[in-house]
Amino acid sequence: MLKTIDKKSLKFKMWTYFVIFAAFIMLLLWLLQIVFMNSYYETMKTNEIKKIGNSLVTEYGKEGFEDLLYTTSLNEGIAIQILDENGGLIYPLNLIDIIMQPRLDYRLFGEFLINLAKSQSDFVIYTREDPRLQNPTLIYGAILENKEGSNYFLYINSALQPIDSTVNVLKNQLIIVTVISLGLALVLSYAIATRLTKPIEKITKSAEVLAGGNYNINFEKGDYTEIDNLADTLNYATKELSKTEKLRRDLIANVSHDLRTPLTLIKSYGEMIRDISGNNEEKRNYHVKTIIDEADRLTRLVNDLLDLSKAQSGIDAIEFKKFDIKETTERVLERFNYYRDNEGYIFVLNSITDGYVHGEEEKIEQVIYNLISNAVNYSEDEKEITINIIDEGDQVHFEVVDKGVGIENEDLANIWDRYYKVDKIHKRSSVGTGIGLSIVKSILIGHNAEYGVDSKVGLGSKFYFKLSK
């Protein structure tokens, strides 16, 4: 089946440009070689004779002038004559001429004198058609100043050679050259265009595969830098896309799992109250408490997701203000009074007196809350949590130190990722949503703050960040 030609394609364009270029060069050659050949030849010849004539005029009177006339006339294939004021031949003269005293045809001489008189410069050059001759002749004339009073004339006569036969030879050659070069242009440009577009076509195919959702595709490099750069960029984009895609899948899987678990519990405890414990107050209260706990967990999850998307979307630009981070921490700690009073947690706050920092208090409060809440969740028997606020010159260093389970080295880099939960069963692991630290990260990045974690498994963790004063 014949493919229709895509006139917008690089291949077609390169092909046409190449052919147009070749055709243009050929046209130029035709114009120069064939069409303008005659006038070109005449101009060339005129200039040449003019040059010879003028140089002879300057040489006149010097030693060896006659020899010069002789050699020039033979070398250039032109007739050179010197005439006196009556058209009498002065040069060349042989013995018989001295007796015969030949003269230039009076009509020729008359015409010559008129032309010379009309000329604006010291010399004249003109063509002359003679019915007895096949070709026109080119005549050059100039006055040779004679010291003895009367003037001599330099009279050069050169036949304009017919160039028709030369033009014909050239024409034939040009036809061959034109055919060959147009043919070559067609073939070569097609070959080059194919070579240039092949890697682009390959990349397009790979991109189609990518668009189909296959992230394992590799964009092949080509023979030139631009394609290499494009392939590199696309490979990088693919890698990033596949990461995002994986995150998205994990997120959906985790969120739906985390939503389903409490919902299942709420439903089954509701059914239990309806069917079993409705009249037994103690049991019913226990079941209702579970339902409330699970509803809280759902609320927490939804809130965390909302907070995260807000923090990450950058809609909430940070509003920098001065606030006392010590006061903020004390306020946060109050929310953990339940743990202090009922579960034996000890909270220690070591702080410099002046805890003023620059930032958005509400957001930093959330960071502090998330960090302390993690310390609570991931402590086991050692329930001491220390918060240090340290003055570091133009910055304030804030850290939450726990003596809890700690984090494996291999997990350290990932805990800041959304929905990353270390795959272990902790006492309170069911509390976590895996979002807390990614909210912390987003907020701290928004504050341009340095942050990090030191942790040893079994010994505890230290989460820190620094804010400018």
The residue at minimum Cβ distance from ligand ADP is 432
Q: Does 461 bind ligand ADP (CB under 6 A)?
A: yes
407 touching ligand ADP, by CB under 6 A: yes
Beta strands in 326-431 (DSSP E): 346-351, 356-359, 384-392, 395-402
Q: How far is the CB of 406 from ligand ADP (least distance, A)?
A: 6
User: In the complex with ligand ADP, which residue's Cβ is closer, 204 or 303?
Assistant: 303
Measured from the CB atom, is 73 or 461 closer to ligand ADP?
A: 461
Which one of residues 435, 443, 444, 467 is an interface residue with ligand ADP (CB under 6 A)?
A: 435
Q: Determine which residue in the list 437, 443, 449, 467 makes contact with ligand ADP, applying CB under 6 A.
A: 437
DSSP 103-152: B--HHHHHHHHHHHHH-SSSEEEEEE--TTSSS-EEEEEEEE--TTSS-E
User: Binding pattern to ligand ADP, positions 79-108, x when CB under 6 A?
Assistant: ------------------------------
Q: Residues 244, 247, 253, CA angle at the centre, nearest 5°?
A: 145
Q: Which two tokens stand for residue 99?
A: 């007796």
How far is 112 from 139, CA to CA, in rounded Å? Answer: 9
Residues of 202-213 as b/e, b for ≥16 C-beta within 10 angstroms? Answer: bbeebeeebeee
Nearer to ligand ADP (CB atom), residue 11 or residue 418:
418
Q: Which is nearer to ligand ADP, 269 or 339 (CB)?
A: 339
Shorter beta-carbon distance to ligand ADP: residue 166 or 430: 430
Task: Determine if 415 is a binding residue for ligand ADP (CB under 6 A).
Answer: yes
| Residue 443 binds ligand ADP (CB under 6 A) | no
Q: Could you say which of 241, 421, 446, 469 contacts ligand ADP (CB under 6 A)?
A: 421
Per-residue CA distances from 290 to 164, 266, 275, 295 (Å): 113, 8, 16, 8
112 binds ligand ADP (CB under 6 A): no
Go through 283-298 and write b for each residue having 16 or more CB atoms within 10 A of its CB, e for each that does not. Answer: ebeebeebbeebeebb
CA 290/CA 379 separation, integer angstroms: 23
367 with 440: CB under 8 angstroms? yes
| Residue 286 C-beta: closest distance to ligand ADP, Å | 26
- Minimum CB separation of residue 362 from ligand ADP in Å reads 19
Any contact of residue 432 with ligand ADP (CB under 6 A)?
Answer: yes
Q: Does 359 bind ligand ADP (CB under 6 A)?
A: no
Beta-ladder partners of 83: 89, 153
Residues 368-397 that bind ligand ADP (CB under 6 A): 374-375, 377-378
**Identified binder of ligand ADP from the candidate list 18, 153, 434, 449, rule CB under 6 A:** 434
Q: How far is Cα 316 from Cα 327, in angstroms, rounded to an integer?
A: 23
Give SS3 for 375: helix
Min dist. Cβ of residue 434 to ligand ADP (A): 4
Burial of residue 220 (CB within 10 Å: 0-12, 13-18, 19+) is: middle
Of residues 152 and 419, the one with the C-beta less far from ligand ADP: 419
**Would you call the peptide bond into 92 cis, given omega within 30 degrees of 0 as the criterion?**
yes
What is the nearest approach in angstroms of ligand ADP to the Cβ of residue 369? 11
Q: Name, in order, each residue with C-beta under 8 angstroms of 254's C-beta and a sequence gap of 6 or more.
A: 419, 434
Question: What is the C-alpha to C-alpha distance for residues 198 and 452, in angstroms, rounded to an integer?
Answer: 49
Asked if 294 is part of the footprint of ligand ADP (rule: CB under 6 A), the reply reads no
* Residue for token pair 């080059």: 192
Choose between 73 and 377: whose C-beta lies nearer to ligand ADP: 377
Given 203, 329, 404, 466, the residue binding ligand ADP (CB under 6 A): 404
Which residue's CB is nearer to ligand ADP, number 435 or number 449? 435
Q: Is 464 in the site for ligand ADP (CB under 6 A)?
A: no
Cα–Cα distance measured from residue 465 to residue 469, given in angstroms and rounded to the nearest whole number: 13
- For residues 128 and 462, which CB has a smaller minimum distance to ligand ADP in the complex? 462
Tokens at residue 441, please? 């990260």
Residue given tokens 């189909």 in the structure block = 212
Contact between 422 and ligand ADP by CB under 6 A: the answer reads yes
Is 139 a binder of ligand ADP (CB under 6 A)?
Answer: no
Of 129-137, 166-174, 266-274, 405-413, the window that binds ligand ADP (rule: CB under 6 A) is 405-413
Binding residues for ligand ADP, rule: CB under 6 A, are 374-375, 377-378, 402, 404-407, 415, 420-422, 432-438, 461
